[in-house]
Amino acid sequence: MLRIFLLSLIISHMGFISVQSKEQIEENFPDAVYQLIDQNDFFKAKCMLIQEISQNLFLAERFDYENYQNIKNQAFERLTRDCENIPLIFYQLFEKISWKDMQKELTAYQEKIQRQMQAFFVSVSTQDSFYQLPLLEEDKKNIRIIIKTMAEKGLVKLLLERRYLEKKGDQVNYIHPLRFIGYIFSDQKLKDCMRQIKTSKFKWNEFIKGFSRRMDEEYAVDNLTRFIPEFVEQVHPQHPERIEGFMRKKSWEEFVADLLN
């Protein structure tokens, strides 16, 4: 019972299916799919169908092929219940959804739930240790990919890989921003990458924009200052006495720039 409650709470926090909004989501879901089909955005429509089926499969806690077929059929019936003229492309999209697609989506969904649960338990505990803030090996790998790609690729290639980088960014978004930046600046190669990023106004602004948003979120719930001592211990900034001042002023860009010195 506790596990189901926590899953509901975290899924709600992630913006998926909450108890309060489930009926509303189910009501709006068909319209959203048909709208994407009308816009000829079949890729997004298929992704939305896969996500809908995988979420229901996850909540049912039965990941076998038979249950996948049942939930897929239920989704199809719900989407076509009140429709007289169903577009042919809709049938084709459903046909293209495979068990392999679903297994891949379920794996990604379960990993995301796991990361959110880890972050949730840390946030509700009395643990004030910077080093207890979650940072998985997979997270470190994703951070390295993001920072190295931003540093080494030109703007045209970055734009071509934007969707890929945004997906990687979504996967590490749950990480506390001080833990995130602490990992980067405790690694000399990543620190050098940050110096390269700073030479491009576009890259630097994009990085600072995302980082500042997360810092603002943690600042709003007074979840920064208590981690400063251990953050300083990990990063060894040249001017540790300045950090609290940056926090008070919410000068996030100055904070990151100062770490580069």
pTM of the entire predicted model? 0.54
DSSP calls for 98-114:
-HHHHHHHHHHHHHHHH
- Give the integer Cα–Cα distance in Å for 48 and 36: 9
Are the C-beta atoms of residues 75 and 53 closer than 8 Å to each other?
A: yes
Q: What is the pLDDT of residues 106-136, one digit of tens each?
A: 666 666 666 665 555 555 444 568 888 888 8
The amino acid present at 215, given as its one-letter code, is: M
Could you report the per-residue pLDDT of 225-250, keeping only the tens digit for each? 888 888 888 888 878 888 888 998 99
Q: How far apart are CA 133 and CA 112, in angstroms?
A: 16
Q: How many helices (DSSP H) and strands (DSSP E) are in the chain?
A: 15, 0
